[in-house]
């Protein structure tokens, strides 16, 4: 059994003070719930990581970076290394988000180097893959996913595949309010699991958590989490408010308990 995991990607939103307030609200909303079998990760902007780490002690929330540079240190103005994230208290890091790929020139090759750097520093990568609308309409979705996974995870051992999180985020569903249907998400997730099995072995592939991202909301999570190969969500807009993020997590765990 894979433990479901929900990650809040705050993108370029929230200060350290906002992060503390969000964590407090999350704790208040979940305090009567008993220990749910679900992992929760929050990815604040770099400047709010230390405050989020401090505030989330004892809350069950783990903190992630949203990006990193693959070099350990050096003359790379504006960049942050895996070691720096780790030292700030992050345990996870998002790599290859489509906004990084589309707006900041991230490539499959840089994703692979970042995954290697994250592992070397003891961070667990959350590796994002997903097709654009054009690619989907051309019928290239599965080919694009194959390329992104094969290149991005090249060199990973089976144990590392088992521990990392793979996020299927169709680009056309991000921030658009238009989530993938159960059929679309199901096809992509099942395909990704099949490829992980082929390339890294069944035991490791079956432990890897594959989460869906793209307009996840309280009112659509249940149709997605009910799918066999969907192990959670990577939530953007609906995670900015602790209330709606908690509602997503609660609806998902209620659905899984059925």
Q: How far apart are CA 232 and CA 221, in angstroms?
A: 9
Q: Is 242 in the site for ligand 13P (CB under 6 A)?
A: no
Given the complex with ligand 13P, which of 186 and 233 has the nearer CB atom?
A: 233
**Residue with smallest beta-carbon separation from ligand 13P:** 236
Q: How far apart are CA 131 and CA 141, in angstroms?
A: 6
Note whether 55 and 19 are within 8 A (CB).
Answer: yes
Q: Which of residues 73-112 bind ligand 13P (CB under 6 A)?
A: 97
Catalytic site includes residue 97? yes
Which of 106, 131, 135, 169 is flagged as catalytic? Answer: 169
- Shortest separation between residue 238's beta carbon and ligand 13P, angstroms: 6
Cα-flanking dihedrals φ and ψ of residue 3, to 5°?
Answer: -70, 125
Task: Put residue 6 in one of left, alpha, beta given phi > 0 → left and psi -120 to 50 → alpha.
Answer: beta
Q: Provide the mask over 159-198, with x wherever binding to ligand 13P is found by CB under 6 A and - wherever it is not.
A: ----------x----xx-----------------------
Residues 6+ apart with CB under 8 A from 221: 233, 248, 251, 252, 255
Which of 69, 97, 119, 204 is flagged as catalytic? Answer: 97
The window from 105-113, 155-163, 184-192, 228-236 that contacts ligand 13P (CB under 6 A) reads 228-236
Q: Is 67 in the site for ligand 13P (CB under 6 A)?
A: no
Q: How far apart are CA 63 and CA 156, in angstroms?
A: 23
Which residues form the interface with ligand 13P (CB under 6 A)? 9, 97, 169, 174-175, 213-216, 234-238
């Amino acid at each position: 059994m894979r433990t479901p995991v929900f990650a809040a990607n705050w993108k370029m939103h929230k200060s350290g003070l906002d992060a503390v307030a969000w964590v407090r609200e999350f704790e208040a909303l979940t305090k009567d719930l008993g220990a749910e079998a679900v992992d929760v990760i929050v990815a604040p902007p770099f400047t709010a990581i230390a405050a989020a780490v401090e505030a989330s002690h004892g809350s069950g929330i783990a903190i992630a970076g949203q990006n990193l540079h693959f070099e350990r240190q050096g003359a790379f103005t504006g960049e942050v290394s895996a070691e720096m994230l780790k030292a700030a208290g992050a345990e996870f890091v998002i790599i290859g988000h489509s906004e990084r790929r589309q707006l900041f020139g991230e490539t499959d090759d840089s994703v692979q180097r970042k995954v290697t750097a994250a592992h070397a520093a003891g961070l667990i990568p959350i590796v994002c893959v997903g097709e654009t609308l054009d690619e989907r309409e051309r019928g290239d979705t599965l080919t694009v996913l194959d390329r992104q996974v094969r290149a991005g995870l090249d060199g990973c051992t089976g144990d590392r595949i088992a521990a990392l999180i793979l996020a299927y985020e169709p680009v056309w569903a991000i921030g658009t309010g238009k989530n993938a249907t159960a059929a679309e998400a199901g096809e992509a997730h099942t395909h990704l699991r099949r490829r992980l099995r082929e390339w890294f072995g069944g035991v490791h592939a079956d432990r890897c958590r594959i989460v869906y991202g793209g307009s996840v909301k309280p009112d659509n999570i249940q149709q997605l989490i009910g799918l066999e190969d969907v192990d959670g969500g990577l939530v953007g807009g609906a995670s900015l408010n602790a209330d709606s993020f908690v509602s997503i997590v609660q609806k998902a765990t209620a659905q899984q308990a059925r």
